[in-house]
Amino acid sequence: MKKQFFFGSFLTLIGGGLIYVMFRTSTLKMFGWFETIGLDRLTNVIRKLTFKFAVELPDWILFSLPDGLWIFSYVSLMLAIWQNSVSPKNTLWILLIPILVIGSEIGQLFGFVIGTFDFADLLLYIFGMILPFIFFTKTINLKFQTKWIII
């Protein structure tokens, strides 16, 4: 469980954040937050070493991979909380954020949600949602109990 938390949740969360710190524009709101808490010097040093490589990276790494990593992190954490066992009782909690994010991206496609639809985003959200189940789940028991009432 500790390995799952470290590799599945923590490293993927940090990895997505580092892509933003190293390669994304400094006009993002998070850089203002870094300045507020005194991390702007550190982020500036990191960016001086790495930002020049951003032009070499494909757009899907810069713009879609962080979100996919964050979805992976969330699902991994939820699975760890539920001891890697999926049941009707916990499915909503495990899939809540991925469903909202995927739904939002599809909503962008049809113009229901403000933003620009990106197939790479959608694909990496789906991978980020599915891969933790493949890597970490012990059991998936989605048998719903039904009771028949005979009158």
The Cα-based distances of 46 to 6, 24, 96 in angstroms read 23, 12, 34
Q: Is the pLDDT of residue 151 over 60?
A: no
φ, ψ at 150 (rounded to 5°): -105, 125
DSSP state of 62: I
Residue 49 belongs to some domain of the structure:
yes
Q: Is the pLDDT of residue 43 over 90?
A: yes
Task: Record the pTM.
Answer: 0.84
**pLDDT score at 143:** 59
Could you read off the pLDDT of 59-87 as tens digits, one per residue?
999 999 999 999 999 999 999 999 998 98
Could you read off the pLDDT of 125-139 as tens digits, one per residue?
999 999 999 998 866
Question: Which structural domain range is residue 80 located in?
Answer: 2-140
**pLDDT score at 3:** 82
**pLDDT score at 2:** 80
Residue 102 belongs to some domain of the structure:
yes
Residue 68 belongs to some domain of the structure:
yes
φ, ψ at 37 (rounded to 5°): -95, 5
**pLDDT score at 12:** 95
Residue 146 belongs to some domain of the structure:
no
Separation between Cα atoms, residue 90 and residue 93, nearest integer Å? 5
Residue 103 belongs to some domain of the structure:
yes
**pLDDT band with cut points at 50, 70 and 90 for residue 113:** very high
Residue 147 belongs to some domain of the structure:
no
Residues above pLDDT 90, as percent of the chain: 75
Residue 148 belongs to some domain of the structure:
no
Residue 122 belongs to some domain of the structure:
yes
Give the range among 14-23, 45-54, 111-120, 131-140 with minimum mean pLDDT: 131-140
How many structural domains does the chain have?
Answer: 1
